[in-house]
Structure 1
Amino acid sequence: MTDGYEIRTALTEMDLDRVHHWLSTDAYWALGRTRDNVETAARNSVNVGVFRDGEQVAYTRVLTDHANFAWLCDVYVDRDHRGRGLGNRMVETVVELLEPTGVQRIVLATSTAHDVYARVGFTPLPRPQDWMIRLRDA
């Protein structure tokens, strides 16, 4: 990446303390998430982080079977680095990482960033009536 930002994908390079802070205090979908939860999720996902001067400034992860399906989640850019296209770059990286696997379906959920994902090729579900969810009681 130009402009001093660098994308990394090794779990060992992710600053999970920082990621936990972002998600548990500032991400509407993950408020209150525990540090253990963040670490377990990261260990079982493909991770993408953006770094500048050695400091992590953005994070996302994707759950995938590496054959058919992937779920993009926890896309977060530090407030001081927003507006620079870092979210798009991370999502583009995820798409590129999954390309060789043949994954045909990448899904995500968002209530606020539809335009961001549309720029990377995401569209609303073509048949939302076909999808179901089972939520665990709190």
Structure 2
Amino acid sequence: MNVRISFDPAERQLDVIHGFLASSYWSPGIPRETVARALEHSIAASAFDGDAQIGLARVVTDRATMAYLADVFVLEAWRGRGVARAMIEALHAHPELQGLRRWLLFTRDMHTVYERLGWERAPHPERLMLRDNPGVYA
């Protein structure tokens, strides 16, 4: 397997991305149009094995002070091979994401993956506020 990371929006395979996200635990039922709009306004690293898209990681950012890492996934057949690591490292190195004061993410079960990439659990979770609307795609 020779994984290639691309930031080129023209290479993204929206059907693959939407198919995964619409069945994920964090965005079940998300409309295809919403995925397309989210990608349009983000910096996204896409992982490819040949011409097949096998993963995605996107960042929502102001490109000056903060970034929110979202929608990180690797299709099941390619998991455990360092694909997520490659996408996140590519985002960490992206020229428009340098000098940021803070990066954020939410994860249910991948804490150790992110910790190996220099992330840490929030030191003051009591400061975190959230306005959540989990049924928005229903």
Q: What's the TM-score, normalizing by structure 2?
A: 0.92
| Residue of structure 2 equivalent to 1:5 | 3
Count how many residue pairs are aligned between Structure 1 and Structure 2. Answer: 135
In the alignment, structure 1 residue 115 sits paired with structure 2 residue 79: no
* Runs of 4+ in structure 1 over 2 Å off: 98-101, 135-138
Determine the C-alpha separation between the residues in 2 that align with 1:137 and 1:111.
15
Q: What's the TM-score, normalizing by structure 1?
A: 0.92
Determine the C-alpha separation between the residues in 2 that align with 1:94 and 1:84.
18
Q: Are residues 39 and 99 of structure 1, via their aligned partners in 2, closer, same or farther at CA, if it must alter by over 3 Å?
A: closer
How far is the alpha carbon of 1:102 from its aligned partner?
1.2
Letter matched to residue 9 of structure 1: F
- Higher RCO structure (Cα 8 Å, ≥6 apart): 2
Determine the C-alpha separation between the residues in 1 that align with 2:97 and 2:46.
20
In the alignment, structure 1 residue 16 sits paired with structure 2 residue 14: yes
Structure 1: gaps (5+ residues): none
CA contact (8 A) 2:63 2:96 kept: no
Structure 2: gaps (5+ residues): none
- Measured on the aligned residues, the alpha-carbon RMSD in Å equals 1.5
How far is the alpha carbon of 1:126 from its aligned partner?
1.1
Determine the C-alpha separation between the residues in 2 that align with 1:52 and 1:100.
25
**Percent identity of equivalent pairs:** 33
How far is the alpha carbon of 1:66 from its aligned partner?
0.5
Summarize the alignment of residues 28-107 of structure 1 with structure 2, pairs less than 5 Å apart. Answer: 28-97=25-94, 101-107=98-104
Determine the C-alpha separation between the residues in 2 that align with 1:136 and 1:34.
15
Determine the C-alpha separation between the residues in 1 that align with 2:133 and 2:18.
22
